[in-house]
Amino acid sequence: MRSLYIKFVGMTIGIMIISGILAFVLSNSYYQQKLKPDNDRKNTTIALNIAEFAEGHPDIDLEAYLESLSAVGYQFYLVDESGDGTFFGSPFKDKTLSDSVKERVLNGHVFHGILQFPRKTFVTGFFANELQNSIGVPLEHNGERYALFLRPDIKLLFNEMHFLFAWLLVLTILLSILLVIFSTHYLVKPIAKLTKATKSLSDGDFHVEVDRERHDEIGELSRSFLRMARKLEQMDDMRKEFISNISHDIQSPLSNIKGYTNLLEKDSINPEDKKVYVSVINSEIDRLSILTKQLLLLASLDRNEEMMNTEIFNAGKQIKELIRNYQWQISEKGIMLGYSLPDTDITGDPSLLHTVWENLLTNAVKYNKPDGSIEVRIEERDESIFITFEDTGIGMNEGEKERIFDRFYRVDTARSRSVEGTGLGLSIAATIINLHGGRIHVKSTENEGTSFIVELPAKSKSN
Q: Which domain CATH number covers 344? A: 3.30.565.10
Domain range holding 404? 311-457
pLDDT in tens, 230-247: 888 877 777 776 677 667
Q: Which domain CATH number covers 105? A: 3.30.450
Question: How much is the pLDDT for 390?
Answer: 95
Cα(55)–Cα(49) distance, integer angstroms? 10
Query: For all residues of the chain together, what is the average pLDDT?
Result: 82
Whether 142 maps to a domain, the answer reads: yes
Q: How far from chain centre, in Å, is Cα 441?
A: 34
Cα(155)–Cα(146) distance, integer angstroms? 26
Q: Could you tell me if 111 and 92 lie in one domain?
A: yes
Q: Could you tell me if 244 and 338 lie in one domain?
A: no
Tell the burial category of 211 from Cβ atoms under 10 Å away from its Cβ (0-12, 13-18, 19+): middle
How large is the average pLDDT for residues 158-175? Answer: 72
Q: Could you tell me if 108 and 146 lie in one domain?
A: yes
Mean pLDDT is highest, among 104-118, 213-227, 269-283, for: 104-118
Domain-ending residue, one of 255, 274, 302: 302
* pLDDT level of residue 419 (50, 70, 90 thresholds): very low
Cα(73)–Cα(89) distance, integer angstroms? 8
Whether 194 maps to a domain, the answer reads: no
Whether 6 maps to a domain, the answer reads: yes
CB atoms under 10 Å from CB of 385, counted, come to: 20
Question: How much is the pLDDT for 72?
Answer: 84
Closest CA relative to residue 394, chosen from 406, 411, 378: 411
Residue 460 pLDDT > 50, yes or no?
A: no
Cα(224)–Cα(323) distance, integer angstroms? 47
* pLDDT level of residue 415 (50, 70, 90 thresholds): very low
Count of structural domains within the chain = 3
Question: How much is the pLDDT for 421?
Answer: 58
* pLDDT level of residue 392 (50, 70, 90 thresholds): very high
Q: Could you tell me if 376 and 333 lie in one domain?
A: yes
Question: How much is the pLDDT for 1?
Answer: 45
Q: Could you tell me if 358 and 409 lie in one domain?
A: yes
Question: How much is the pLDDT for 410?
Answer: 64
Question: How much is the pLDDT for 257?
Answer: 87
How large is the average pLDDT for residues 159-163? Answer: 60
Cα(116)–Cα(118) distance, integer angstroms? 6
Q: Could you tell me if 283 and 334 lie in one domain?
A: no
How large is the average pLDDT for residues 314-333? Answer: 90
Question: How much is the pLDDT for 172?
Answer: 81
pLDDT in tens, 68-80: 998 888 999 999 9
Whether 387 maps to a domain, the answer reads: yes
Q: Could you tell me if 326 and 446 lie in one domain?
A: yes
Question: How much is the pLDDT for 156?
Answer: 65
**Contacts with 203 (C-beta within 8 Å, 6 or more apart), sequence order:** none
Q: Could you tell me if 323 and 417 lie in one domain?
A: yes
How large is the average pLDDT for residues 255-265? Answer: 85
* pLDDT level of residue 48 (50, 70, 90 thresholds): very high
How large is the average pLDDT for residues 319-338? Answer: 90
Whether 351 maps to a domain, the answer reads: yes
Output Rg (C-alpha) for the chain, integer angstroms: 49
Question: How much is the pLDDT for 125?
Answer: 67
Share of the chain above pLDDT 90, in %: 28
Domain-ending residue, one of 262, 283, 302: 302
Whether 335 maps to a domain, the answer reads: yes
Closest CA relative to residue 390, chosen from 322, 451, 305: 451
Whether 212 maps to a domain, the answer reads: no
Mean pLDDT is highest, among 90-94, 106-110, 368-372, 434-438, for: 106-110
Q: What is the C-alpha end-to-end distance of the chain, expressed in Å?
A: 55
Q: Could you tell me if 34 and 125 lie in one domain?
A: yes
Q: Using H for helix, E for strand and C for coil, what is the string for the chain?
A: CHHHHHHHHHHHHHHHHHHHHHHHHHHHHHHHHHHHHHHHHHHHHHHHHHHHHHHHCCCCCHHHHHHHHHCCCEEEEEEECCCCEEEECCCCCECCCCHHHHHHHHCCCCEEHHHHCCCCCHHHHHHCCECCCCEEEEEEECCEEEEEEEEECHHHHHHHHHHHHHHHHHHHHHHHHHHHHHHHHHHHHHHHHHHHHHHHHHCCCCCCCCCCCCCCHHHHHHHHHHHHHHHHHHHHHHHHHHHHHHHHHHHHHHHHHHHHHHHHCCCCCCHHHHHHHHHHHHHHHHHHHHHHHHHHHHHHHHCCCCCCCCEEEEHHHHHHHHHHHCHHHHHHCCCEEEEECCCCEEEECHHHHHHHHHHHHHHHHHCCCCCCEEEEEEEEECCEEEEEEEECCCCCCHHHHHHCCCCCCCCCHHHHCCCCCCCCHHHHHHHHHHHCCCEEEEEEECCCEEEEEEEEECCCCCC
Closest CA relative to residue 198, chosen from 206, 185, 5, 184: 206
Residue 338 pLDDT > 90, yes or no?
A: yes
**Do 81 and 103 form a contact (C-beta atoms < 8 A)?**
no
Whether 139 maps to a domain, the answer reads: yes
Domain-ending residue, one of 302, 322, 348: 302
Q: Could you tell me if 246 and 363 lie in one domain?
A: no
* pLDDT level of residue 122 (50, 70, 90 thresholds): low
In a 13 Å sphere around the CA of 173, the CA atoms on its Cβ side amount to: 9
- At residue 250, φ and ψ (nearest 5 deg) are -90, -40
Mean pLDDT is highest, among 40-44, 223-227, 400-404, for: 40-44
**Do 82 and 107 form a contact (C-beta atoms < 8 A)?**
no
Q: Could you tell me if 357 and 280 lie in one domain?
A: no
**Do 148 and 47 form a contact (C-beta atoms < 8 A)?**
yes
Q: Could you tell me if 85 and 152 lie in one domain?
A: yes
Q: Which domain CATH number covers 298? A: 1.10.287.130
